[in-house]
Amino acid sequence: MFILDVIKESLRNEANALGRLAGEVGEEYVSAVQIILNCKGKVVISGIGKSGHVGKKIAASLSSTGTPSFFVHAAEAVHGDSGMIEKRDVVILISNSGETAEVLSMLDVVKRIGSQCIAITKNSGSTLAAGSEVALTYSYEKEADHLDLAPTTSAMLQLAIGDALAVTISRLKAFGKDEFYLYHPGGSLGKKLSDHKNESKSG
């Protein structure tokens, strides 16, 4: 059936790209993790468009796993919101091309503030990569849509990079279930952790 064929093709395309990324990871990821671990402030994530939506999720994942973080929209940053950023913060800027005008404008502001910057981009030779302390890059054959235009595979890779950073940093910080419960007492996860704590006490 055509519908199932398209769905499977899309999933295979993204799965192949993720497998490629795992093979491309290098020492730049170690540097990025160390920069975040040594951060005396908060981790600020920024982007625009689909990269901005990905950035919001990365900020949420970092915060819930023990690394205080928040999202700043790249366009709003150059209209005053960059005032939320301090020198002691680490800023992660996301742009697939590495040449997004709003993100590069924010990069200029971040450099003047004096914050360290980590780039997430597909283009290692981009202005964003060159202007950052560390560039986490990725590659893929094509986006998952038939036009090869919609940010699908690229957005998935950006999100996976953010998840990998959050998971690694959380583990290095020895972030445990008690801490996770402190930040996430609601919903099914909160109930699961609460039940686990109660069982531990009764045992």
Structure tokens at 59: 């900020």
Structure tokens at 185: 């007492």
Regarding pTM above 0.85, the answer is: yes
**Which segments in the chain show pLDDT lower than 70?**
1, 176, 178-203
- The reported pLDDT for the residue numbered 49 is 96
* CA 193 distance to own-chain centroid: 25
The 3-state DSSP class for residue 120 equals strand
Residue-level length of the chain: 203
The 3-state DSSP class for residue 146 equals coil
- The reported pLDDT for the residue numbered 193 is 55
The 3-state DSSP class for residue 137 equals strand
Which one-letter DSSP state was computed for residue 96?
S
Q: Which fold has domain 13-172?
A: Rossmann fold (3.40.50)
Rounded CA separation 138/42 (Å) = 25
Backbone angles phi, psi at 103, to 5 degrees: -70, -40
- The reported pLDDT for the residue numbered 148 is 87
- The reported pLDDT for the residue numbered 173 is 86
The 3-state DSSP class for residue 29 equals helix
User: Is the separation of the CB atoms in 56 and 45 below 8 Å?
Assistant: yes
Nearest Cα to Cα of residue 94 among 139, 44, 26: 44
Partners of residue 73 on adjacent β-strands: 47
Instruction: Identify the residue whose tokens are 């952790």.
Output: 193
> How is the chain split into domains, by residue range?
13-172, 176-203
Which one-letter DSSP state was computed for residue 125?
T
